[in-house]
A and B are shown apart, each in its own frame.
Chain A
Amino acid sequence: GQNIDQPTEMTATEGAIVQINCTYQTSGFNGLFWYQQHAGEAPTFLSYNVLDGLEEKGRFSSFLSRSKGYSYLLLKELQMKDSASYLCAVKVTNAGKSTFGDGTTLTVKP
């Protein structure tokens, strides 16, 4: 089976840094994605990791440890518009099938 765990909710302050963790146990691994989803809207791509290490992209960074089945998304200089759900997804087959976690709802407060 596939199991992806993320915290359900997190709260942080505008201008701060927040780390959203994701652990996974899947039948296959061909990469890990992070998506942002605002309520009622479509998920939008944030990052992709297939090798261990940190990928930095502006205010957002994503880290992967394949041996630990662990990833995190780091958001710096938080803005109010960063309030959203953040979805961790593992590509379980090379054909592209992905399994999504239930998402972490991040609330950014002034």
Chain B
Amino acid sequence: DSGVTQTPKHLITATGQRVTLRCSPRSGDLSVYWYQQSLDQGLQFLIQYYNGEERAKGNILERFSAQQFPDLHSELNLSSLELGDSALYFCASSPRPGSTDTQYFGPGTRLTVL
């Protein structure tokens, strides 16, 4: 158990819908990362937040958005869902940017778009 929690574990929805994935980082960690892992692709970095501020952006679609709240939990919002958005979405946390930045991953949310 990494100490990072994600909800829900599974989510099944239809094309065109909007969903929200939630992540709580390890106690004391200030940085949160979001990744997408499809069957035919490796881990794709989406976005990073540090202490409430966006820190780095990867290949995140405009239909996707995220935020980190004052209590440091984070939410990833996916809208106008398409079949290709079906994937495992991982959240990871680390203490702070810089240093070794070992990232601790949550168990993931499996999103299925029908």
Q: Which of B41, B58, B107 contacts A97 (CB 8 A)?
A: B58
Q: Which of B94, B97, B107 contacts A41 (CB 8 A)?
A: B107
Q: CB-CB < 8 A to B102: which residues of A? A: 33, 45, 48
Q: What is the total of A-B residue contacts with beta carbons within 8 Å? A: 68
How many residues from A make CB contacts under 8 Å with B?
A: 25
Q: Which of B58, B100, B108 contacts A42 (CB 8 A)?
A: B108
Q: CB-CB < 8 A to A91: which residues of B? A: 101
Report how far A37 CA is from B104 CA in the complex, Å. Answer: 12
Within 8 A of A (CB), among B68-105: 88, 90, 94, 97-98, 100-105
Interface of A is mostly: loop
Q: Is B24 an interface position by the 8 A CB rule?
A: no
Q: Is A15 an interface position by the 8 A CB rule?
A: no
Given A41-B107, A44-B2, also A95-B42 (CB < 8 A): no
Measured CB to CB, the nearest residue on chain B to A30 is B101
B35, B43, B107 interface centre (most CB from chain A within 10 Å):
B43
Report how far A40 CA is from B107 CA in the complex, Å. Answer: 9
Q: Which of B31, B41, B107 contacts A96 (CB 8 A)?
A: B31
Given A43-B90, A87-B42, A101-B42, also A96-B105 (CB < 8 A): no
Q: Are A97 and B56 in contact (CB under 8 A)?
A: yes
Additional 9 contacts, C-beta under 8 A, given A94-B98, A95-B50: A31-B101, A33-B103, A40-B88, A45-B103, A48-B102, A95-B48, A96-B103, A97-B56, A100-B44
A-B complex: 10 closest residue pairs judged by Cβ atoms: A42-B105, A102-B42, A97-B56, A100-B43, A95-B97, A96-B101, A96-B97, A43-B105, A95-B55, A48-B100
